[in-house]
């Protein structure tokens, strides 16, 4: 079961860092892609493959999971989609869990098709988990839950996202409760119903680091749900901001960092220490620094690493 697998991976690595794979042609280290964003899609896709494999090879021994952002691969058409599938398999071959970030959903048989295509290692995409939007209602989530349960996979439902504009819908009050709180209560029911030995269910929530007060509120409201916490690093979230996402043992949450890790070679202090030529060393240093931050400033310090 995904929730228990995730708990074990986090325990073994001794940290909750989730590395987002968001390759962008204009930000790749020099030498990986001649022509940048003007290069043909097939050439960009090959550069993304080399880059993401290089990231995975560095972070694989350090962190429990990666999160490929599907849009950056889909942007390149068929060549990008083929590379995305290769990236998923490569990460899993390095002992990592893979969460595909596509925020999919629809109703009826379309939702079922998304779920069957994405979830479980026997599926075409082979994802251990995927992100899902809840805004078509309960009947749009049920197919994802059913497929995840049958295949030992997981889903992360958007609850309170990290972007500034998310409040337009998520913070609306209806019948005395915010929309995000209503979604959270539904996610918690599904998580409790599917809870495994770790105490967490296969349905988790996406809850942003940029709203620490709501993060604390939602941790209390969703005791059986794993949290996927975006917004750390480049979006302004800090270790202090995400501390409330964890349970008292340091479990229950994985904290995503995408640009702040994979493009560390281009930002201080790593640019000065490593530069583009040593981009993998910059990634390793940034990952280790994030691990140390979370261990030092959150309950994640109570995890015992393998």
DSSP state string for 5-67: HHHHHHHHHTS-EEEEE---GGGSPTTS-TTGGGS-HHHHHHHHHHHHHHHHHHHTTT-SEEE
pLDDT above 60 (res 57): yes
Tell me, yes or no, if 103 is annotated catalytic: yes
Reported pTM: 0.94
* Residues forming beta bridges with residue 21, ordered by sequence position: 68
pLDDT band at 306, cuts 50/70/90? very low
Query: Which of the pair, 271 or 210, is modelled with greater confidence?
Result: 271
Q: Kindly name the residue from 89, 103, 249, 278 that is annotated as catalytic.
A: 103
Q: What percentage of the chain reaches a pLDDT higher than 70?
A: 98
Quote the CA–CA distance of 306 and 289 in Å, as a whole number: 18
The pLDDT mean for the chain works out to 93
pLDDT above 90 (res 37): no
Q: Which CATH architecture has domain 2-298?
A: Alpha-Beta Barrel (3.20)
pLDDT band at 304, cuts 50/70/90? low
Structure tokens at 289: 């620094």
Domain boundaries, the chain: 2-298
pLDDT above 90 (res 142): yes
Quote the CA–CA distance of 67 and 98 in Å, as a whole number: 6
Quote the CA–CA distance of 102 and 93 in Å, as a whole number: 22
Alpha-carbon radius of gyration of the chain: 18
- CB burial string 283-303: b at 16+ within 10 A, e below: bbbbbeebbebbbeebbbeeb
pLDDT band at 234, cuts 50/70/90? low
- pLDDT at residue 22, rounded to an integer: 96
Note whether 135 and 103 are within 8 A (CB).
Answer: no
- pLDDT at residue 191, rounded to an integer: 96
- pLDDT at residue 169, rounded to an integer: 83
Report the pLDDT averaged over residues 15-41: 92
């Amino acid at each position: 079961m995904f929730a228990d697998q995730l708990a074990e991976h986090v325990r073994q690595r001794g940290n909750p860092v989730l590395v987002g794979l968001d390759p962008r042609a204009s930000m790749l280290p020099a030498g990986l892609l001649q022509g940048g964003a003007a290069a043909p899609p097939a050439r960009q896709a090959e550069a993304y493959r080399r880059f993401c494999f290089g990231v995975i090879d560095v972070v694989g021994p350090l962190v429990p999971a990666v999160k490929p952002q599907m849009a950056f691969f889909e942007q390149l058409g068929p060549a990008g989609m083929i590379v995305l599938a290769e990236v998923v398999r490569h990460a899993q071959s390095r002992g990592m869990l893979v969460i595909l970030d596509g925020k999919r959903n629809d109703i009826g048989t379309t939702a079922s098709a998304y779920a069957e295509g994405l979830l479980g290692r026997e599926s075409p995409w082979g994802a251990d988990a995927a992100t899902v939007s809840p805004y078509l209602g309960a009947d749009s989530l049920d197919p994802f839950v059913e497929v995840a349960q049958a295949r030992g996979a997981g889903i992360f439902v958007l609850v309170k996202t990290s972007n500034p504009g998310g409040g337009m819908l998520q913070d609306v009050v209806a019948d005395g409760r915010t929309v995000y709180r209503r979604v959270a209560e539904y996610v918690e029911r599904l998580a409790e119903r599917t809870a495994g030995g770790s105490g967490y269910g296969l349905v988790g929530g996406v809850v942003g680091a940029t709203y620490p007060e709501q993060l604390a509120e939602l941790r209390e409201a969703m005791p059986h749900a794993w949290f996927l916490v975006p917004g750390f690093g480049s979006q302004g979230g800090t270790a202090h901001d995400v501390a409330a996402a964890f349970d008292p043992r340091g479990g229950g949450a994985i904290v995503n960092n995408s640009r702040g890790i994979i493009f560390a070679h281009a930002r201080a202090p790593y640019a000065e220490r490593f530069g583009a030529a040593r981009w993998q060393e910059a990634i390793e240093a940034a990952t280790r620094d994030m691990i140390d931050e979370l261990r030092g400033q959150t309950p994640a310090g109570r995890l015992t690493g393998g």
